[in-house]
């Protein structure tokens, strides 16, 4: 379910023709649907109704403050991986006490700020990090609430760059070591153990690995209980997949139902950190065809968005659906590679798509709301795209297109000889 649909041959975002957005704000432009964002978030909270649970949106998937604000208004918690994300959450009206802090490389200043504003929990990924947090908290005379991120070593079938819960990954602490790390943590003066945590990967389309991970975490919780370490919450991370092509991920409701069944009424708060499943289908990227080009082997459509705007195809060979914003245009269907303007062979949006195209046409790259703008860069000195959020019949500019001056505002020439 999402709110980008054709009406009379034109693609709409909710009640706004996206052609109007392209006319007004130009291309490339990310367009988000408030309604879709809310729908996805509420699917989580509704499925969890009646259970002690916390849905902490993973900010890294899309950190625009308007996106965060829409979710904060619904009472969302947030999963952050840097102090920058923490400040965005606060700026957007999120509650510090609803924030969990993940990531393998938290720096001292980031821990300080998180303690100062009073976040809910640190997800600890190594003994060295635990020692650092103990030191920082003790210097500030605060107590840091923690979970330890376990690497449950479950096999997930996803792209190797986004599989995080196997032994060869840098994330978390292995099952073999985690019990002793908890024992150690329980002896630290400024550390308060409250949970266990894992995050096994992203774009997971099967429930099996989650259930395996949950089972292993429950066994750990039982062992800790025997040692006198009481666990209040179980954080299963994010990672639920979405449909880009023909994937068949479980619905959010099915996913939650199966987790709750395995939890079987245990007095534990369930924490989830969904990113992609909340915002992926709530966004599209509008891009214009600059040129058509044909050689002996191929038809190319050269568009005005590149890997600096949308990195997923280049980074993960990701497939995202591309549709014309007008689907009533007559012409010859050809098989196109849709490529960007950047000087890299990896700079493609899509390969081998059957489309009717003319120069000047506008295309919509779907499921672009997650890991789209968030991964944008200035490579090739290109300005980052504009972002627009549609709310029913209103289109709000939520980030201006960057200007050239903004690109080099922080650069400096060497002094004169």
Give the active site residues.
343
Cα gap 359→354, rounded to integer Å: 16
Q: Which of 106, 110, 102 is nearest to 148 (CA)?
A: 102
CB of 48 to ligand PLP, least distance (A): 16
**CA-angle at 42, arms to 41 and 43, nearest 5°:** 90
**Per-residue DSSP letter, 81:** S
Give me the least distance between CB of 315 and ligand PLP, in Å please: 14
- Asked if 17 and 28 count as a contact pair (C-beta separation under 8 A), the reply is no
The Cα 142–Cα 255 span in angstroms is 37
Smallest separation (angstroms) from ligand PLP to the CB of 174: 17
Nearer to ligand PLP, 102 or 320 (CB): 102
Q: Are 103 and 81 in contact (CB under 8 A)?
A: yes
Nearest approach, Cβ of 202 to ligand PLP (angstroms)? Answer: 3
Which CB, 15 or 104, lies closer to ligand PLP? 104
**Residue number, nearest CB to ligand PLP:** 275
Residues 6+ apart with CB under 8 A from 351: 337, 338
How far is C-alpha 72 from the geometric centre of its chain's CA atoms?
16
Q: Which of 78, 53, 75 lies closest to 256 in space, CA to CA?
A: 53
Task: State the residue for tokens 């058509």.
Answer: 292
Shortest distance (Å) from residue 280 CB to ligand PLP: 8
> Closer to ligand PLP at the Cβ: 63 or 277?
277
Joined tokens for residue 273: 């950190």
Contact indicator for 70, 78 with CB cutoff of 8 Å: no
In the complex with ligand PLP, the residue whose CB is nearer, 90 or 370, is 370
Nearer to ligand PLP, 34 or 199 (CB): 199
Residue 140 CA to residue 207 CA, distance in Å, equals: 42
For ligand PLP, which is the closer residue by CB, 274 or 340?
274
Q: In which residue are the tokens 């978030």 written?
A: 41
User: Nearest approach, Cβ of 236 to ligand PLP (angstroms)?
Assistant: 9
Q: Which residue has the tokens 């959020």?
A: 389
In whole angstroms, give the CA distance from residue 409 to residue 403.
Answer: 10
Given the complex with ligand PLP, which of 104 and 302 has the nearer CB atom? 104
Beta bridge partners of 145: 192
Residues that bind ligand PLP (CB under 6 A): 58, 60-61, 79, 102, 199, 202, 237-240, 273-277, 370
Please state, in angstroms and rounded to a whole number, the distance separating the CA atoms of residues 26 and 19: 10
Min separation Cβ 203 and ligand PLP, Å = 6
Helix then strand then coil, in percent of the chain rounded to 5, is 35, 25, 40
**Is residue 224 within a helix (H) or strand (E), and if so which, with residue range?**
helix 208-226
CB of 85 to ligand PLP, least distance (A): 11
Q: Would you say 124 or 349 has its CB closer to ligand PLP?
A: 124
């Amino acid at each position: 379910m999402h709110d980008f649909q054709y009406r009379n041959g034109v693609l709409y975002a909710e009640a706004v023709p996206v052609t109007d957005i392209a006319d007004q704000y130009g291309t490339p432009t990310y367009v988000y649907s408030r309604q879709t964002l809310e729908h996805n978030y509420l699917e989580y909270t509704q499925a969890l109704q009646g259970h002690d649970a916390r849905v902490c949106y993973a900010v890294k998937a899309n950190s625009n403050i308007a996106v965060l604000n829409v979710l904060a208004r619904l009472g969302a918690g947030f999963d952050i991986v840097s102090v920058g994300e923490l400040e965005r959450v606060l700026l957007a009206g999120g509650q510090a006490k609803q924030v969990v802090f993940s990531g393998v490389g938290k720096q001292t200043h980031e821990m300080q700020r998180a303690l100062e504003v009073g976040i809910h929990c640190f997800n600890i990924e190594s003994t060295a990090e635990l020692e650092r947090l103990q030191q920082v908290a003790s210097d500030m005379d605060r107590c840091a609430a923690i979970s330890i991120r376990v690497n449950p070593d479950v096999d997930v079938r996803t792209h190797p760059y986004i599989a995080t819960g196997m032994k060869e990954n840098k994330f978390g602490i292995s099952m073999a070591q985690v019990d002793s790390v908890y024992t150690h943590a329980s002896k630290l003066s400024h550390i308060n153990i409250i949970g266990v945590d894992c995050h096994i990967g992203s774009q997971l389309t099967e429930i099996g690995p989650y259930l395996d991970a949950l089972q292993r975490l429950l066994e750990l919780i039982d062992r800790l209980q025997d040692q006198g370490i009481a666990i209040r919450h179980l954080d299963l991370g994010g990672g639920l997949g979405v449909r880009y092509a023909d994937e068949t991920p479980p619905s959010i409701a099915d996913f939650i139902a199966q987790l709750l069944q395995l939890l079987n009424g245990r007095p534990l708060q369930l924490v989830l950190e969904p990113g992609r499943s909340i915002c992926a289908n709530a966004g599209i990227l509008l891009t214009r065809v600059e040129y058509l080009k044909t050689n002996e082997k191929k038809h190319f459509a050269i568009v005005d968005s590149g890997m600096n705007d949308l990195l997923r195809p280049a980074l993960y060979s990701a497939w995202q659906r591309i549709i014309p914003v007008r689907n009533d245009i007559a012409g010859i269907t050809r098989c196109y590679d849709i490529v960007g303007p950047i000087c890299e062979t990896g700079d493609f949006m899509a390969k081998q798509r059957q489309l009717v195209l003319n120069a000047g046409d506008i295309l919509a790259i779907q499921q672009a709301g997650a890991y789209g703008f968030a991964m944008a860069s200035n490579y090739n000195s290109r300005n980052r795209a504009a972002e627009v959020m549609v709310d029913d019949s209103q289109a709000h500019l939520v980030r201006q297109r960057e200007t050239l001056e903004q690109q080099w505002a922080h650069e400096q020439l060497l002094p004169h000889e």
